[in-house]
Structure 1
Amino acid sequence: MGFQKTEEPCFCFIYRTRQQIVDPSSRFKIPKLTSVFLFILLLFSPVFPAITAKKFRRDHHVFRPRKETNKMKLIEAHLKRINKPFIKSIQSPDGDTIDCVITHHQPAFDHPKLKGRKPLDPPERPNRHDRAENSSENYQLWSLSGESCPEGTIPIRRTSKQDILRANSISKFGRKIRPIRRDTSSYGHEHAVGYVSGNKYYGAKASINVWAPKVANRYEFSLSQMWVISGSFGNDLNTIEAGWQVSPELYGDNYPRFFTYWTTDAYQTTGCYNLLCSGFIQTNNRIAIGAAISPRSVYNGGQFDISLLIWKDPKHGNWWLEFGSGTLVGYWPASLFTHLQDHASMVQFGGEIVNSRALGSHTLTQMGSGHFSGQGFGKASYFRNMQVVDWGNNLIPLSNFKILADHPNCYDIRGGTNRVWGNYFYYGGPGKNPRCP
């Protein structure tokens, strides 16, 4: 913040008084002693404010409130924990700094259950998995710099002090604090989703249309993702999540970013976004989790989607993540979870926003493209080629697929199936509108 020019009322008052003293037309005569006193004040008045201001600034710096000092120390300590030493850093066109960190130095291995371990070799992929769906590897802005991380390292988006300061507290940084449920709109979370339940699921796959929806304020977000869920929607909820999100609070901008999440206790004390805590083990040196996605879809123009696959390795039981055309990102160790050590009981696909009602009405935060599902291809956002993984490690079509929009006048959803897209749906909306006040 720049300095603002301030008035000096004391000087101006004295100047006017002196004019009165020397004005021969004045009938008012000031005593000699008073005029001398005023002259001395006039002589030194420009100096005193400067001395006082300088002293104030110095004193303010020295006597900073203890609470603020302790907070900054805690932030610096937290940054030291999550920003690991790197052998190379890359500047992304969007302002991110990507650090190339030695693979076995990544945050995952700070976890008590993972200390001393090294990443596992790639597992067997599910049967009937087509890796040729996406041909482009340049779907993150930082990779457009032409730089890359060397073998034996992973790219990690560097966390800044400003990133943490945007959160309500250090403990809340990088975490979903409130429970997120499929069947409720409590806590301001609103959804338009499709889901399957009632069987044992060992993974899921989908191609997700990427947009840059407008988010009304920094306390809200808009995302599109897959959830792999087990346990009840109580305190024992286990989830694995991946997709794209726009979150001004988490990232400081409005770019759609590739993200992951996990929790084993309904978002209470475990789990986090991306690599902001120990847990997810990254094995890839070309994908930066939390980095901006490029290109993005254009209304009534070119469409872009990303293919995501999450599946349980039949041999070791870990949950692996693939992004794009056969690129393994890494895995969530089975040891992190309780219910998901075995299988998932629900798989969910779709959009979610936060409605803070900051202005006393429904938020203007958009979901998907910001347009309702009825507008169709090129205008509404979509999920396509949705599948699940069965107990035999086979990708199979969805059965008993259901859709739900908990605020259909604000964000809606409509599904279908065809030979090219398999199971699909369009979803999204503008938020506040005449039918959604």
Structure 2
Amino acid sequence: MASRMLQLVFICVLCVPFMILVSPAELGIMSILDYISYINPPAVHKYKHDNGDNILCVKFTDQISLQRGKQQYGYDKKNSIIGWRDAQAGDSIKRCPEGTVSVMEIKPDHQYAVMKYLYEGVYGAQGIFNVWQPYVESHDYFSLSQIWLIRDKGLPTMQTMEAGWIVYPSYYGDSRPRLFVYWTADNYNKTGCWNLYCEGFVMSTDSKYYPGQPIEPVSEYEGPQIEREISIKRLSDSFDREFLQGEGVWYLYIQNERVGYWPGSLFDSLAESADRVEYGGEVAIYGDNAGTPHSRTHMGSGHFLEEGWSRAAYIRNIEIHNSNGTLVYPPETNGVTNSKCYNLATHANQTWGQYMFFGGPGGDNPSCVN
């Protein structure tokens, strides 16, 4: 989805988990860039440490631990300054100015294995996903499989609707795969959120499915495959049009059951149609430096596409529809970040229609490095 994250913040030699400071409900209503701003406080100086870390020199009173709960701590000039200080500017200065603390800058790293379909006038998309429980190396990382409906052509910023399954321990409190929805109207800047944690996605009554719902059981390696069909469709129901005062609506269906909708008022051009659809997987990891071993976080089943049926993750019966409901076959663009970590390939046959295998073991493959 784009970029969405939680991370670990290191203040001097003390590691403070982000989740201690912000509750899951509060996380849900924070935008992606709000996350980054929160854990990377404003800096008066920045430099690269000899160990490869990017260091932010932050005023003592601006560090995260003093922002939460409005603690009133006195300023202790001697004890608040860690290491040698130098107020001079310039990349060669590898120290923080007096009166600041050293905070390791956290940059999210999102790895993708997605197939992109470009088509002007998308009014619906669907696919059948097999569901796994991928290994996630850190509590704050996530691994997902999803569908994106996107509009960015002719717009100043990207707008998306997203749905799929995700393993995200710090957000949900466990490692079970769960259904999720997401949206943004400004490229994950100030709008959008997961599930129902802000004004946006609206639940339908009497649905047995809901965002955040765990999926059990899950697919087994060389065993039974557990699937979920996910569809996002532009509204065509006249009753609902009247109820919603003519507003354009995108409905989400799970297993052909209506779950809820994204009101068109959330978006600009995406309220009418999408111009891109993406299918595949995403892994969010944090703090890895170039050339270092990659996170062992898995995507999909944790196995590469070449292992195929009952071993690798797949999305089958991929369908994209135009305004008339006609099935269209847009050109494909492969979007794989690092094929030594996670990979993808598409195929087609009479039974599965268009389909793809994807995923991988991340750093469990020795060739996968940052």
TM class, shorter-length: 0.5 to 0.7
Aligned to 1:267: 188
Task: After TM superposition, list the pairs within 5 Å mapping 1:1-20 onto structure 2.
Answer: none
TM-score, reference length from structure 2 = 0.68
Three-state SS of the structure 2 residue aligned to 1:340 is: helix
Q: 1:375 aligns with which of 290, 307, 318?
A: 307
| Distance in 1 of aligned mates of 2:260 and 2:205 | 7
Cα deviation, residue 417, structure 1: 0.3
Aligned to 2:232: 310
| Distance in 1 of aligned mates of 2:235 and 2:109 | 36
Return the letter of the residue paired with 1:376: G
Greater share of residues in helix = 1
Task: After TM superposition, list the pairs within 5 Å mapping 1:248-397 onto structure 2.
Answer: 248-285=169-206, 286-314=208-236, 315=238, 316=241, 317-324=248-255, 326-357=256-287, 360-394=292-326, 396-397=327-328
Cα deviation, residue 232, structure 1: 5.0
Q: 2:118 aligns with which of 185, 194, 197?
A: 197
The 1:234–1:176 alpha-carbon spacing in structure 2 relative to 1, beyond 3 Å, is: farther
Q: Is the 8 A contact 1:257 1:291 kept in 2?
A: yes
Three-state SS of the structure 1 residue aligned to 2:129 is: strand
Deviations 1:81-112 (A, max 9, x none): xxxxxxxxxxxxxxxxxxxxxxxxxxxxxxxx
Cα deviation, residue 403, structure 1: 2.4
Q: 1:177 aligns with which of 32, 38, 54?
A: 32
Unaligned runs of 5+ in 2: 1-16, 35-106, 242-247
Deviations 1:213-248 (A, max 9, x none): 010102210000000000259862110000000001
| Distance in 2 of aligned mates of 1:257 and 1:384 | 19
Q: 2:342 aligns with which of 411, 417, 430?
A: 411
Aligned to 2:162: 241
Q: Is the 8 A contact 1:201 1:391 kept in 2?
A: yes
| Distance in 1 of aligned mates of 2:31 and 2:110 | 11
Matched, 1:211 2:127: no
Greater C-alpha Rg: 1
Q: Is the 8 A contact 2:125 2:233 kept in 1?
A: yes
Deviations 1:379-423 (A, max 9, x none): 0100000011211133x1533123221110000001100000000
Three-state SS of the structure 1 residue aligned to 2:362 is: coil
Greater share of residues in strand = 2
| Distance in 2 of aligned mates of 1:173 and 1:164 | 12
Three-state SS of the structure 1 residue aligned to 2:277 is: strand
Aligned to 1:428: 359
Q: Is the 8 A contact 2:31 2:190 kept in 1?
A: no
| Distance in 2 of aligned mates of 1:311 and 1:242 | 12
Cα deviation, residue 361, structure 1: 2.7
Q: 1:400 aligns with which of 331, 334, 339?
A: 331
Three-state SS of the structure 2 residue aligned to 1:188 is: strand
Deviations 1:242-281 (A, max 9, x none): 0000001211110000000011111111111111112111
Q: Is the 8 A contact 2:125 2:319 kept in 1?
A: yes
Q: Is the 8 A contact 1:259 1:274 kept in 2?
A: yes
Return the letter of the residue paired with 2:337: D
Aligned to 1:159: none
| Distance in 2 of aligned mates of 1:207 and 1:255 | 19
Matched, 1:222 2:152: no
The 1:252–1:230 alpha-carbon spacing in structure 2 relative to 1, beyond 3 Å, is: same
Q: Is the 8 A contact 1:234 1:266 kept in 2?
A: no
Q: Is the 8 A contact 2:128 2:318 kept in 1?
A: yes
Which structure has more relative contact order (CA 8 Å, sep 6+)? It is 2
Q: Is the 8 A contact 1:175 1:273 kept in 2?
A: no
Task: After TM superposition, list the pairs within 5 Å mapping 1:24-39 onto structure 2.
Answer: none
Three-state SS of the structure 2 residue aligned to 1:294 is: coil
| Distance in 2 of aligned mates of 1:228 and 1:172 | 23
| Distance in 1 of aligned mates of 2:174 and 2:154 | 31
| Distance in 2 of aligned mates of 1:163 and 1:330 | 31
Moved more, 248-257 or 314-323: 314-323
Cα deviation, residue 174, structure 1: 5.2
Return the letter of the residue paired with 1:384: R
Deviations 1:310-338 (A, max 9, x none): 011135420001001x2100111111111
Three-state SS of the structure 2 residue aligned to 1:355 is: strand
Cα deviation, residue 343, structure 1: 0.9
| Distance in 2 of aligned mates of 1:187 and 1:198 | 30
| Distance in 1 of aligned mates of 2:299 and 2:155 | 26
Q: Is the 8 A contact 2:342 2:362 kept in 1?
A: yes
Unaligned runs of 5+ in 1: 1-161, 180-185
TM-score, reference length from structure 1 = 0.58
Q: Is the 8 A contact 2:29 2:193 kept in 1?
A: yes
